[in-house]
Amino acid sequence: MKQYLWGIAITVVIVFVLVRKHSDSLFENIGNFKKGKRGEDEVAAMLKENLDDNYTCVENYMIPNARIGDIDGLLIGPKGVVILEVKNYQGVFRISGPDLYRRNRGDNYTLYKKSPFIQATRQKNYLSKYFKDKGIGDVPVKAIVIFPEAKISSINGETGVFVTENNKLVNHIFQLSSVPNWDSSLENQIINALDIKNAIN
């Protein structure tokens, strides 16, 4: 009987340890999701407040027939199509080419997570090809990676995309080159090709 009770006790301890390990990971993922969503909401609110009706802002867009994840935001307007990739990382970062480094202590930086620049570049290239396949022609597609909570200490080398902090985003958008032949007809072609049903102006 004692062996039986010991077996149950050991099983309960093992199950508890496994559940605890996975629940910590689950709660961490939920926390990261909430932080990411908050950053995306801040960016969307800022754009709605500062941009006029010439721009259409779409949140959480899935590129049709693509397996490269959703795009946090699309801005369609006189600057073309701008992909907005929001990374709600916290801390001080240094960017070197496609790599992102986070400061630990003093001036010590270590490589941080997957590169958001590679992801945004892939989305930009895929969307450009998508428009060509739809017969729309040369639609300028640009990508901006936004860090709402982080401080960027330096950028060295080519990332393939634009990089900005939250407080500089609107100015960064205004500094992008405008599309010479932009009109409502081209905008409507783009919106129809993207099959956007929940566009928010």
Mean pLDDT per 10-residue section of the chain, whose length is 201 residues: 65 66 45 54 82 89 77 93 93 92 90 88 92 87 93 91 89 91 88 74 49
**Per the domain annotation, does 140 fall within a domain?**
yes
Residue 82 DSSP class: E
Domain extent, residue 157, equals 41-194
Residue 31: per-residue pLDDT: 42
Provide the 10 A C-beta neighbour count for residue 188: 11
CB 151 within 8 A of CB 164: no
Residue 22: per-residue pLDDT: 55
**Per the domain annotation, does 118 fall within a domain?**
yes
pTM of the model: 0.77
Residue 106: per-residue pLDDT: 83
**Per the domain annotation, does 109 fall within a domain?**
yes
If one counts the domains in the chain, the total is 1
Residue 5: per-residue pLDDT: 65
Residue 189 DSSP class: H
**Per the domain annotation, does 187 fall within a domain?**
yes
CATH number for the domain spanning 134: value is 3.40.1350
**Per the domain annotation, does 56 fall within a domain?**
yes
Residue 7: per-residue pLDDT: 66
**Per the domain annotation, does 17 fall within a domain?**
no
Burial of 49-68, coded b for 16+ CB within 10 Å and e otherwise, reads: eebeeebbbbbebebeeeee
> Would you give the distance in Å from CA 39 to the centre of its chain?
10
End-to-end Cα, the chain, rounded Å: 71
**Per the domain annotation, does 155 fall within a domain?**
yes
d(CA 73, CA 62): 10
**Per the domain annotation, does 150 fall within a domain?**
yes
d(CA 154, CA 143): 19
- SS3 of residue 164 by DSSP: strand
Residues 6+ apart with CB under 8 A from 64: 130, 194, 195
